[in-house]
Amino acid sequence: MEESSREIHSLKTKVGDWVIVVICVLIAIICLLPMVNLLARSLSGTDYLIKNEVYLWPKGFNIKAYATVLSDPKYIKAFGWTALLTVICTFLSLTMTTLCAFPLIFPALKGRKVINLFITITMFFNAGTIPNYLLMQKLNLLDNPLVLIIPGCLSVYNMIILRSFFYGIPESLRESAEIDGASYLTVLIKIYLPLSKPVLATLALFYAVGRWNGYSDALMYMKNKDFYPLQLLLYNILNNINQVEVTTQEGFSAPGLADSLKAAIVMFSTIPILCIYPFLQKYFIQGVTLGAVKE
């Protein structure tokens, strides 16, 4: 009887696992379908796009849209500037986040509760667009590349995530290092940072994706087109395509080419950031078992 109940329980567990797998696969397919459709449209001929016959597989294979994007120097320049900007912002943001989160885990820090309160308040209250613009103007950051770096170099939400992770590291590790004469900076570099690789990799991904996809700050604060990030350049180009595609005198080829070009532009700006995920995946896996303490 007991053996029969175990078999039933095991069967229910397997069925439940398969249901979860099926749900996860369906969610993954739903997330991938728009990207696959965009890729197919970017590689399809204009006639098939006009007839709206392209779904998940390219028809009338054509790379003219990609050739147009890659042959224009302004795309390459914007791509290089955005990549450099993303690297700088990610490194600076991780540094600021770490330096802000680490001191707040020490109970001996005077005014720690007040500091935590003020930091948390900034998550719920914001001055707004116009006061922020006036602040950038007073700081002489308008039309300055630093305006794309400094204002967003610290996310309170990410800082709280890292601080919570630091709380989970056993205090005995820190105390033993302090007994051996290690300074706070040494404890941070030698103990906390090596143990925090998974969460740091995750936060780096958050910061990198946010900066790579960001364009609203450049739209508000930048006038010099030499420092336009890729997303703002593509935003302007997509708007121009929508405005001019109907007014051409080339029959039906221009609307189809414009549609293909829009898809190619989106893929051109999306694929590079997707390439980062495989390199950070191993740290996500490590995060599942990190923090276990052997007794």
Q: Express each pLDDT in 248-276 by its tens digit.
A: 444 334 555 677 777 887 887 888 877 77
The pLDDT of residue 294 is 40
* Closest residue by Cα to residue 54 from 263, 283, 295: 263
**Do residues 221 and 136 lie in contact, with contact meaning Cβ atoms separated by under 8 Å?**
yes
Domain ranges of the chain: 2-42, 66-289
Q: What is the pLDDT of residues 42-98, one digit of tens each?
A: 888 777 777 777 788 888 787 877 887 777 788 888 888 999 999 999 999 999 999
Strand, helix or coil at 190?
helix
The number of helices, as runs of H, and strands, as runs of E, in the chain is 15, 0
Residue at token pair 């590349």:
145
Q: DSSP letter string over 145-161?
A: GGGGTSTTS--HHHHHH
The pLDDT of residue 6 is 64
Helix (H) or strand (E) holding 153: none
- Percentage of residues in the chain with pLDDT exceeding 90? 12
User: What number is the average pLDDT over the span 101-118?
Assistant: 88
Q: What's the chain's average pLDDT?
A: 80
* CA distances (Å), origin 55, targets 25, 33, 43, 59, 169: 20, 9, 11, 9, 49
pTM of the model: 0.78
More confident residue, 154 or 2: 154
The domain 66-289 having CATH identifier 1.10.3720.10: the answer here is yes
Cα separation, 235 vs 150, in Å, equals 23
Helix (H) or strand (E) holding 130: helix 129-138
